[in-house]
Amino acid sequence: MSELFDVIWLNASPILTRFDKPLLQYLSKCMKVAQWEYHQTKDEASSIDLAVELLYEFLEEYPHSLHLAGHGMGGAIALTFARRYPKKVRSLTLLAVAAQPANNWHAHYYVQRQLFSISREQVLAHSVRSLFGKQPPHTTKKLMAVLDKDLEQSPSPHSLFRLVNLPKSGVSMPMMVCGSKSDPVVNSLALQDWQNWFKPEDRLWECPKGHHFFHYYYPQQVGEQIISFWQHHHAQALTTSALTSSAST
């Protein structure tokens, strides 16, 4: 890798990348941020494990541990990676990820399809209202198409035939969990459940509003919180590294 970076942001669905951009632009003013995207083809089975292993291949030769972050399914991949390869991760930042990481908007979509005799389009329209708030009709149609595409592209383990749970636990490195008080998918109760695995250095923060994609609507407010968290642990890691080097000389 010719250029080093401090932070890697994970995205599990190319169609949702647009909602990350405002926050990433803000974060990039203070830290060196790289984006890593997982592109799943139509012939591939949905697999978080495959995404995790591809990320490890990408970072295997990287010389330093990194701040790892992601929203939704990207966050779930980041969480799985951090548990599996803790030495690669300096800190973990999760946005809209429940303590049960599989409880994402896909799970809510499939539950509605199973319980109610309504069409795919009706559930998608309801999902737009849940994830983005009330929108004009033309915007709703565009967002329905985005969510429809995300169902195809994301490595979510859920389907009409089966809903899957993922392991619930914490991580060894410092962790920050961010959510929105107006998000009905990853609500305050789902966020507070993280407290069962928190360490003293871990942090939970909720945006007052913004629904599921709160980082898109309030990039500066979210970014300030994340940068404060990163800078604290980035400085600690650099100090520890310097002390280790001095001791070995």
pLDDT per residue over 114-150, tens digit each? 887 788 999 999 999 999 999 999 999 999 999 999 9
Spatial distance between the Cα atoms of 99 and 244, rounded to a whole number of angstroms:
34
Q: What is the pLDDT of residue 114?
A: 83
Residue identified by tokens 């049960």 is 100
* pLDDT at residue 44, as a whole number: 53
- The pLDDT tens digits for 175-229 are 999 999 999 999 999 999 999 999 999 999 999 999 999 999 999 999 999 999 9
More confident residue, 114 or 18: 18
Q: What is the pLDDT of residues 28-85, one digit of tens each?
A: 999 999 999 988 665 555 678 999 999 999 999 898 899 999 999 999 999 999 999 9
Helix, strand, coil share of the chain (percent; to 5): 50, 15, 35
Q: List pLDDT tens digits, range 148-173.
A: 999 988 887 777 677 888 889 999 99
pLDDT of amino acid 160: 65
Lateral strand order in the sheet of 175-180:
33-37, 7-11, 66-71, 89-95, 175-180, 203-207
- In the predicted model, is pLDDT for residue 245 greater than 50? no
CB burial of residue 124 (10 Å; 0-12, 13-18, 19+): buried
Average pLDDT over residues 86-102: 96
Q: Which residue has the higher pLDDT, 233 or 38?
A: 38
* Residue 3: predicted pLDDT: 62
Give dist(CA 55, CA 78) in Å, integer.
Answer: 9
Note the pLDDT of residue 43.
Answer: 52
The whole-number pLDDT of residue 41 equals 63
Asked whether residue 238 carries a pLDDT value surpassing 50, the answer given is no
